[in-house]
Amino acid sequence: MGEENKIYISYNHIHKMCQDIAPKIKEFKPDLMIAIGGGGFIPARMLRTCLKEAGKPTLRIYAIILSLYEDLGTVSTAEEAPGVQVKRVQWIDYDQSGVDLINKNVLIIDEVDDTRKTLHYALSELEKDLAKQCKEKGGDPKNTKFGVFVCHNKLKEKKNNYQTISHKRVDISQKMFQILGFVILGKLMILNIIKKCANCKVMIYKKQGTSS
């Protein structure tokens, strides 16, 4: 990729974006945050500060690490390409941390939505954990909601495709960005995407057959 085609996003841009999206995420009322490492750790920490409310406990951040990208071994750059399968490197130790997903609003955070394989894997595995916990402890998986916040969307074919149902324009720091939210598997997802473009909009997506 040529230098002229690269888009550089500063720390302040990410921090401003977290501040701007925080009121919307507060409507989701997250009980805990799950950051996908390593890229999701910094925005997760920023968001936790933005979501902090006086007199209430600070949201706990739980880290998971998934491997999908592979070094292409090029000489000139440390270029990476998406791998075929997601590998679990680190996951939540529910017993040690004393947490479960039952009756929780869970906010998942990552820095990029590329092929959506990583997010799809994370959500699928968390749903399996939830089903197991509900079976062991009692509870209804439908009472748990998962939200997702990411910082950058790559415009390419995704693991899941969504249907636009509403939109509006947005301008952040004198540059045009795209902010996206969608519903998947009948659960609320809050997904914040930044992508420099000429005519970007805020879009709400839903999977066909689900209700908003």
CATH of 3-206, one of 3.30.420.10, 3.30.300.30, 3.40.50.10240, 3.40.50.2020: 3.40.50.2020
Tally of CA atoms within 13 A in the half-sphere of 91 that contains its CB: 13
Q: Is residue 114 annotated as a catalytic residue, yes or no?
A: yes
- Give the separation between CA 114 and CA 48, rounded to whole angstroms: 24
Sketch the domain layout of the chain as residue ranges. 3-206
What are the pLDDT digits (tens) for 160-177? 553 332 223 333 333 333
Under DSSP, is residue 185 helix (H, G, I), strand (E, B) or coil? Answer: coil
Which listed residue (31, 113, 114, 171) is catalytic?
Answer: 114
- Banded model confidence at residue 140, pLDDT cuts 50, 70, 90: very high
Based on its alpha-carbon atoms, the radius of gyration of the chain, rounded to whole angstroms, reads 17
pLDDT at 116: 80
Give first-to-last CA distance, the chain, whole Å. Answer: 38
Highest mean pLDDT among 81-85, 130-134, 204-208: 130-134
Tally of CA atoms within 13 A in the half-sphere of 164 that contains its CB: 8
What are the pLDDT digits (tens) for 9-43? 678 878 888 888 888 888 889 999 999 988 899 99
- Give the separation between CA 204 and CA 67, rounded to whole angstroms: 28
What are the pLDDT digits (tens) for 93-135? 999 999 999 999 999 998 877 778 888 889 889 999 999 999 9
Question: What distances in angstroms separate CA 153 from CA 113, 130, 179, one per listed residue?
Answer: 5, 27, 9
pLDDT at 143: 92
